[in-house]
């Protein structure tokens, strides 16, 4: 049977994955929030707002009507900003087929509820569909995937057969998908690496060197792992693609939106003016608030995330934040 796919969210990553699937021969409908953008993509075959310069497959159709996008689809891929995922899923829910495979490629922690997106999906979807939920994450800049550069990611689901189905649907000769059964670890790694990338950007913006960035990446990984274990994830997951892999990419790559925001913070610019000049979403800004509050609720020590929270939400000086990190009580590395 031919698999009909809807991709919900036409940002750079949503458009990239929709195009990848369409080039594999699947009929794909890409849902855009902006009606005028949907019309332009349909006419020109290019997402000029979020993925300029990339010609999209003729198998890709666009619409701004959510109901028509999700109806009678066998796979729904959600690539919406994490803070609006609940709203979009709620609107789509009445028209989703009970047999549909649900995949999320969004990365974040919901602000008000402090829920991981897997918890949001399981709260809204009927229990009979929980085994059909999967998550796609890993080190992957949209522009590079769209340009055909070799990339490896991971698909996680509670049941291996579901992860394997996602693996088969998404894999190409340039886009390799591994399977995993640790949903919590995979999605938490994808969310928290954005916060650490902000910190790495702050370090770069302050003019610090490779030593500082390496320390932030390594200690940031320790914070991600501590919180992940507390939530029931596996430490091994954070050593893989969705943990260390995505963390290194986002903390070092020039295409990282979160690192770019951090650089501007380090240069002394305020977060409101930085975000006002951006077209795309930097998930790490809102995830910082969620991660800080979630860690406090669970009693997990996250000093880097705490300092990013103070910079973003309490107007703390980035230079003072770095000083305070360095002057923390001395301890063993494994703590």
The token pair that represents 187 in the structure block: 């999605």
Q: 66-86: per-residue pLDDT in tens?
A: 999 999 999 999 999 999 999
- The answer to the question of residue 148 being in a domain is yes
Does pLDDT of 46 surpass 60? Answer: yes
Cα separation, 5 vs 11, in Å, equals: 17
Q: What is the model's pLDDT at position 334? A: 81
Instruction: Pick the range with the lowest mean pLDDT from 216-230, 277-291, 309-323.
Output: 277-291
Cα separation, 10 vs 91, in Å, equals: 17
Can you give the CATH number for the domain in which 168 is found?
A: 3.40.50.720
- Which of 154, 181, 208 corresponds to the end of one domain? 181
Q: 6-32: per-residue pLDDT in tens?
A: 999 999 999 999 999 999 999 999 999
Question: Average per-residue pLDDT in the chain?
Answer: 96
Do 17 and 146 sit in the same domain of this protein?
yes
- The answer to the question of residue 335 being in a domain is no
Q: What is the model's pLDDT at position 138? A: 98
Do 51 and 152 sit in the same domain of this protein?
yes
Place of tokens 């080190």: 139
Phi, psi of 134 (to 5 degrees): -140, 165
Do 14 and 162 sit in the same domain of this protein?
yes
Instruction: Pick the range with the lowest mean pLDDT from 150-154, 250-254, 318-322, 328-332.
Output: 328-332
Full DSSP string of 13-30: HHHHHHHHHHHTT--EEE
Do 126 and 154 sit in the same domain of this protein?
yes
**Average pLDDT value for residue range 97-112:** 96
Q: 222-273: per-residue pLDDT in tens?
A: 999 999 999 999 999 999 999 999 999 999 999 999 999 999 999 999 999 9
H-type alpha helices, the chain:
12-23, 35-44, 66-70, 85-92, 117-124, 142-146, 160-170, 183-205, 210-230, 246-252, 257-266, 271-276, 283-298, 303-313, 318-326
3 state SS of 194: helix
Do 78 and 200 sit in the same domain of this protein?
no
Cα separation, 140 vs 81, in Å, equals: 16
Cα separation, 160 vs 154, in Å, equals: 12
Do 219 and 242 sit in the same domain of this protein?
yes
> 278 falls in which pLDDT band (50, 70, 90)?
confident
Q: What is the model's pLDDT at position 61? A: 97
Residues known to be catalytic: 193
Do 139 and 214 sit in the same domain of this protein?
no
Question: Residue 134's closest CA among 112, 114, 161?
Answer: 161
Question: Residue 181's closest CA among 231, 121, 134?
Answer: 134
- Cα-Cα-Cα-Cα dihedral sign, residues 204, 206, 211, 212: negative
**Average pLDDT value for residue range 274-298:** 93
Q: What is the model's pLDDT at position 1? A: 53
Q: What is the model's pLDDT at position 282? A: 85
Domain, as residue range, for 161: 5-181
The bridge status of strand 175-180 relative to strand 151-157 is parallel
Reported pTM:
0.96
Residue 30 has, within 13 A of its CA and on its CB side, a CA count of 34
The token pair that represents 47 in the structure block: 């997402």
> 206 falls in which pLDDT band (50, 70, 90)?
very high
- The answer to the question of residue 290 being in a domain is yes
The token pair that represents 329 in the structure block: 């009580």
Q: Do residues 275 and 282 lie in contact, with contact meaning Cβ atoms separated by under 8 Å? A: yes
Q: What is the model's pLDDT at position 279? A: 79
Q: Do residues 265 and 274 lie in contact, with contact meaning Cβ atoms separated by under 8 Å? A: yes
The token pair that represents 319 in the structure block: 């230079």
Place of tokens 């996008």: 69
Q: What is the model's pLDDT at position 7? A: 98
Q: What is the model's pLDDT at position 252? A: 97
> 335 falls in which pLDDT band (50, 70, 90)?
low
Q: What is the model's pLDDT at position 210? A: 96
- Which of 161, 181, 201 corresponds to the end of one domain? 181
- Which of 159, 181, 203 corresponds to the end of one domain? 181
Higher pLDDT, 274 or 2: 274
Q: Do residues 184 and 225 lie in contact, with contact meaning Cβ atoms separated by under 8 Å? A: no
Can you give the CATH number for the domain in which 292 is found?
A: 1.10.1040.10
Do 238 and 255 sit in the same domain of this protein?
yes
**Average pLDDT value for residue range 262-285:** 92
- The answer to the question of residue 61 being in a domain is yes
Q: What is the model's pLDDT at position 281? A: 79
Q: Do residues 134 and 161 lie in contact, with contact meaning Cβ atoms separated by under 8 Å? A: no
Q: 177-190: per-residue pLDDT in tens?
A: 999 999 999 999 99
Angle at 243 between CA 241 and CA 244, to 5 degrees: 80
């Amino acid at each position: 049977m031919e698999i009909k796919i809807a991709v919900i969210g036409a940002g750079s990553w949503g458009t990239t994955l929709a195009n990848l699937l369409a080039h594999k021969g699947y009929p794909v409908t890409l849902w855009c929030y902006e009606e005028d953008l949907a019309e332009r993509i349909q006419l020109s075959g290019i997402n000029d707002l979020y993925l300029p310069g990339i010609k999209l497959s003729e198998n890709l159709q666009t619409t701004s009507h959510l109901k028509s996008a999700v109806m009678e689809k066998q796979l729904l891929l959600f690539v919406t900003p994490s803070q609006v995922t609940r709203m979009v899923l709620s609107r789509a829910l009445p028209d989703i087929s009970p047999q549909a495979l649900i995949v999320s490629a969004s990365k974040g922690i919901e602000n008000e509820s402090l829920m991981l997106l897997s918890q949001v999906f399981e709260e809204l979807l009927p229990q009979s569909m929980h085994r059909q939920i999967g998550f796609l994450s890993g080190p992957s800049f949209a522009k590079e995937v769209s340009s055909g550069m070799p990339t490896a990611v991971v698909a996680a689901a509670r049941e291996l057969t579901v992860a394997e189905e996602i693996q088969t649907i998404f894999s190409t000769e340039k886009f390799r998908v591994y399977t995993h059964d640790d949903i919590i670890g995979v999605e938490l790694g994808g969310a928290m690496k954005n916060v650490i990338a902000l910190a790495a950007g702050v370090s770069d913006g302050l003019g610090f060197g490779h030593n500082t960035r390496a320390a932030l990446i390594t200690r940031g990984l320790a914070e991600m792992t501590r919180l992940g274990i507390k939530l029931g994830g596996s430490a091994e997951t954070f050593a893989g693609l969705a943990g260390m892999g995505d963390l290194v990419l986002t903390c070092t790559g020039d295409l990282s939106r979160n690192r770019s925001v951090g650089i501007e913070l380090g240069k002394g610019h305020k977060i409101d003016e930085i975000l006002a000049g951006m077209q795309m979403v930097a998930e790490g800004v809102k995830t910082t608030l969620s991660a800080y509050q979630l860690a406090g609720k669970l009693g997990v020590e996250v000093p880097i995330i705490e300092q990013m929270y103070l910079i973003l939400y309490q107007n703390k000086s980035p230079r003072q934040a770095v000083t305070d990190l360095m002057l923390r009580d001395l301890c063993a590395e494994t703590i």
